[in-house]
Amino acid sequence: MSGRLGAIAIPKNRFNEVIEHLRFNFFADEPLNNGVGLCKKGEAHLELENHCMYTLKQGYSRMLVTDDGVIAGLALNGISKNCEREEIVRRLSALDDEKFKIIFGLLYQVNDKIDLYDKYHTDELFECRILSVDEEFRGQGLANILIADTINIAKHAGFKVFIIIKLHCPA
C-alpha cells in the first residue's frame, strides 16, 4: 500500500470511476450476482449501476484512495426509509432483468421478514449496501477501515441502527 489511506467522501466527479471499480471488483464476483450469472467481470449492468448511482447521490458513500488517486476500496452507504417499502415492491415488479429481480427480490424478502424498522422502532435505517476492495489491495485490512468509517458516519448522522446489505471482499 502506498502511503496512508484514509476514508473520504466520494465526490460527484468520481462517480464514474466508482462504477468502473465496481465493474471489475464487485459486480461479477459478489456471491448472489455470481450465483445467477448477472454479468461478467468488467461488464456494465444498467440496473445495478443505477442502484449504485442512487446510493452515491445520497452522499454517505466513502472511498479509500492511494496517494496517486487510485481507488483502493469503497463503501456505498445509504439510507432506507420504511415509507419507501411499497415503492420498492413496485420497482421490483417492473424490472425486466430477471436475474437482477431474483437478487433484489431475495434481499427484499429477507429484509421484510426481519423488519428492522419494527424491531428497532425507527423509520430510517443506515445501510452499507456495497463494500468492495480492489483485488490489488485485498488482505491489508481496508474493509475494516471502511466499516469503521461507515459506522462513524452513521453515528454522526444520528443513526442507531446500522446494517450491511451486500458484502463482497474476498480474501
Instruction: Report CA torsion sign: 16, 171, 1, 59.
Output: positive
Tell me: the pLDDT tens digits for 81-96?
Answer: 999 988 888 888 888 8
Residue given cell 426509509 in the structure block: 81
Comparing 118 with 4, the larger pLDDT belongs to 118
pLDDT of residue 169: 39
Q: Is the pLDDT of residue 171 over 70?
A: no
Q: Is the pLDDT of residue 54 over 90?
A: yes
Distance between CA atoms of residues 106 and 108, nearest Å: 5
pLDDT of residue 166: 47
Q: Is the pLDDT of residue 136 over 50?
A: yes
pTM attached to this predicted model: 0.89
Residue (of 17, 16, 19, 24) closest to 42 by Cα position: 24
Domains within the chain, CATH numbers bracketed: 7-164 (3.40.630.30)
Q: Is the pLDDT of residue 58 over 60?
A: yes
Distance between CA atoms of residues 149 and 126, nearest Å: 13
Instruction: Yes or no: say if 134 and 71 are a contact pair by the CB < 8 Å rule.
Output: yes
Q: At what angle do helices 98-114 and 85-94 cross, to 10 degrees?
A: 160
Q: Mean pLDDT across the chain, nearest whole number?
A: 89
